[in-house]
Amino acid sequence: MTISTPAVRSIPEAKKIGMVSLGCPKNLVDSERILTKLRADGYAMSADYDGADVVLVNTCGFLDSAKEESLEAIGEAIAENGRVIVTGCMGEEAETIRARFPQVLAVTGAHQYEQVVEAVHTAAPPTQGPFVDLIPQPDDVKLTPRHYSYLKISEGCNHSCAFCIIPALRGKLASRRIDAVLREAEKLVAAGTKELLVISQDTSAYGVDTRHEERMWKDHPVRAHMTDLARELGQLRTPGGETPWVRLHYVYPYPHVDAVIPLMAEGLLTPYLDIPFQHASPKVLRAMKRPANEAKVLERLKSWRAIAPDITIRSSFVVGFPGETEDDFRYLLDWLEEAQLDRVGAFRFEPVEGAAANALPDHVPEAVKEERYARIMEVTERISAAKLTAKVGRTLPVIVDEVGEPDEDGDIGATARSQADAPEIDGQVFLRNVPATLQPGDFASALIEDADAHDLYGVIG
C-alpha cells in the first residue's frame, strides 16, 4: 500500500510597502498608523524603491512650496518604482496630482487611513493573511527612534487664520477620547519611549468639540482637557521607574495654559512650550485673524518664568504678511527683544491657494521679505546665543539621541538634547568622551562647557 505524503505549502513572501512621509509630525503619525495597519495585514516594509511592490507618498499641502516638494517626491517615486499611491494633505487636490502624474494608482486625503489601506490591497493584494493570522503581531510601526514618540491628541482646527488652509485640508477640531490617548501614551512608555511629544493643530483646544467629556482612567474620571491630559501624562513612569519627558507643541496661549506651568515646576511636565505667536503687531495679527493681545502675553511670559525659571518658549513668526509695514516689523523686533524667546523660527509669507490672505491688499515685495527675514534671524540668533552662553557651567539633564564610534584616541562622542530642545526643530547638546556604556535613549547629566547660537557642548557630569 502506498501512503501519500501531503504537499508541503510554504508561506508566500510578503508584499512590500515603501513610504515617503513629508511635512509635519502630524503627517508622520499618520504614516505610522498606515504602516502599522498594513503590517497587521501581512505586508512588509521596504527601505528603498526597488524592493517595494507599491510606494506610498504622504504629502504636505500647507504652502505652495510644500506642494511642489510633494509633487517632486511623487515624480521621483514614479520614476524609481512606477506603482505609487498618494495620500496626505495634498490629496485634496487629486485633479492637480492626476493631471501631472496620470499614472498614480490612487489619491486619498489627509488621515483617510481606511481608504489608503484599501488602495494598497487593490494595487498589491496581501499574500500572507490566511497563513499568519495566528502569529502574534509585533508592536506598532515607528518612524522615529525608539526613545521618543509623537502623541497626536486631535485632528483639525477651529481657527480661520487668513494665511492657513488646514481646516479645509483636515476639517474642524476632532479630539480623541482622553482614555484612548492615555492608553496609547502608557503603551508607548512601556515599550521604551522616554519622551512624548504631544501634537495637534491646536493642543490648547483639546476637548472643546466634545465639551471636555469625562472618561474613566485608573479608577477616576478624567476630562478631555489639556490640563487634565498634562497632569495624567505626568504620572507615567518608564519600566525603570524614570519620569518620561512630556513636551507640549502647538499650544495657543489661552488662559488655562497658565495651569500647566506649575506642573513643569514640579517636574511632571518638561518645561517647554511651543506657541505659534506668528506676529506681534496688533494690526498684522488682526489681518491674520489671530488673537491680538501681545502686551498681556509679555506679562504672562514673566509670570511663567517666575514659576518655572527654566521654561523654554519656542515660537514661529511670519514676515512680509500682506500689509506689514516697516513700523509693524520694527514693532515685532522690539517685542522679541522684550519677550526674549528661547527658540524662534521665521518664515517669509507665501501665498497658498485657497487662503484668504491672498486677496488682501498691499502685498510685500519679495526683496523686502528677504531683508526682513535676515533682520529677524539676526535678532533671534543673538538672543539665542546669549541664552545658551548663560548655560555654560551648569549641569543639565539631557536625553541621548546618538552615540558615535570611538576615534583614534578611543574617545566616544554623543549627540543629545536638553529639555529646551525638541527633536528635529531645536538645538542639540554635543558630548565628548562619553562612557562606552551610554546608549541612545539614556537620560544623563551634562556639564555644559561651551555654546554657540544654537547648540551646547559638554561632558557627562
- 336 and 344 in contact (C-beta within 8 Å)? yes
CA distances (Å), origin 339, targets 279, 296, 304, 383, 397: 12, 11, 12, 10, 25
Residue 2 lies in a domain: no
Please spell the DSSP secondary structure of 301-342, one letter per residue: HHHHHHH-TT-EEEEEEEES-TT--HHHHHHHHHHHHHH--S
What CA–CA distance (Å, rounded) separates 276 from 288?
13
At residue 363, what is the residue type? H
223 labeled binding residue:
no
Pair (296, 377) in one structural domain = yes
What is the pTM (predicted TM-score) of this model? Answer: 0.81
Pair (104, 245) in one structural domain = no
Element (H, E) at 28: helix 25-40
243 labeled binding residue:
no
3-state secondary structure (DSSP) of residue 65:
helix
Pair (120, 192) in one structural domain = no
CATH number for the domain that contains residue 439? 2.40.50.140
CATH number for the domain that contains residue 68? 3.40.50.12160
Cα 80 → chain centroid: 28
User: What per-residue confidence (pLDDT) applies to 295?
Assistant: 63
Pair (351, 429) in one structural domain = no
User: What per-residue confidence (pLDDT) applies to 133?
Assistant: 43
66 labeled binding residue:
no
- 352 and 165 in contact (C-beta within 8 Å)? yes
299 labeled binding residue:
no
Residue 379 lies in a domain: yes
Query: Domain residues for 86?
Result: 16-132
pLDDT in tens, the chain (461 residues): 455 545 444 456 788 999 998 888 888 888 888 888 888 888 888 888 888 999 999 998 877 788 889 999 999 999 999 899 999 888 888 888 999 999 999 999 877 878 888 898 898 888 755 444 444 444 566 677 889 999 999 988 888 788 877 777 778 899 999 999 999 999 999 999 999 999 999 999 999 999 999 999 999 999 999 999 999 999 999 999 999 999 999 999 999 999 999 999 999 999 999 999 999 999 999 999 886 566 689 999 999 999 999 999 999 999 999 999 999 999 999 999 999 999 999 999 988 878 888 889 999 999 999 999 999 999 999 999 999 999 999 999 999 999 999 888 889 999 999 999 999 899 999 999 999 999 999 999 999 999 999 999 999 98
89 labeled binding residue:
yes
CATH number for the domain that contains residue 321? 3.80.30.20
Residue 96 lies in a domain: yes
161 labeled binding residue:
yes
> Would you give the end-to-end CA distance of the chain in angstroms?
79
User: What per-residue confidence (pLDDT) applies to 139?
Assistant: 58
Final residue before a domain boundary, out of 389, 410, 438: 389
- 201 and 30 in contact (C-beta within 8 Å)? no
What CA–CA distance (Å, rounded) separates 58 from 75?
13
Q: Could you give the number of structural domains in the chain?
A: 3
